[in-house]
Amino acid sequence: MQKAIALLSGGIDSPVAIHLLQSQLDIVPVHFHQLPLVDESEIEKVRKLAKHLKVKKLYLAPFTPVLKALVEKCNHKHYFILSKIAMFRAAEMIAQKEKASYLITGENLAQVSSQTLSNLTSITKHVSTEILRPLLTYDKQEIINVANQIGTYELSKGPEICNLLGPKKPSTRSDPEEIGKELEKLDLRALLEECLKNTEIVTTF
């Protein structure tokens, strides 16, 4: 069975995306946490979701330094697009280590600002590994229905801590070339290598 690295946020969407592909792929989730900006409850929530999904391994990656660098050096309106690209690129580095062929995300079209068709295009063009988006055409209620069916909804519900450093008015349209120029403003590779050096790998739940 081929392997994939999944972005597991702790919200409602990403556990459903993992569940939908588990029969076809060996999935290793990674959670990009924001300690010390948030407390340990964020990580505990993700551990419970990983256990419920019966994955063999979970990566817990400290992403606050990367996010702070984006805020300090890049156009803030593109924060959500840039942070998602950074997460995917870190996931690609894990994919190389794990010999995984795909990345998985719970993104679905136009639900939040980074997930407009324009912004999803900008994200995809700056990631080399194929991204699987099984929830792309689902609406929120459809995702909630599946989450209830598989037992992840109660674990996932509540505020999702993903916008602590984000702008009040994020860009809903973007140009891939402009996004590329924003990425050049920081040494992303070095930031991600440092992140992965400090990443915890959980194998028992």
Alpha-carbon span 75 to 174, nearest angstrom: 12
Alpha-carbon span 95 to 107, nearest angstrom: 19
- The tens digit of pLDDT for each residue in 77-130 reads 999 999 999 999 999 999 999 999 999 999 998 666 668 889 999 999 999 999
- The tens digit of pLDDT for each residue in 64-77 reads 999 999 999 999 99
Note the pLDDT of residue 39. Answer: 82
Exposure of 178 in the CB half-sphere (CA atoms within 13 A): 12
Note the pLDDT of residue 157. Answer: 80
Domain span holding position 74: 3-202
The DSSP code for 114 is G
Structure-model confidence comparison of residues 116 and 23, the more confident one: 23
Note the pLDDT of residue 160. Answer: 58
* Residue 61 host element (H or E): strand 58-62
pLDDT band, residue 38 (cuts 50/70/90) = confident
Note the pLDDT of residue 162. Answer: 58
Mean pLDDT of 28-53: 91
pLDDT at 163 over 80: no
Alpha-carbon span 78 to 101, nearest angstrom: 28
* Residue 131 host element (H or E): strand 130-132
Structural domain count, the chain: 1
CATH number of the domain enclosing 48: 3.40.50.620
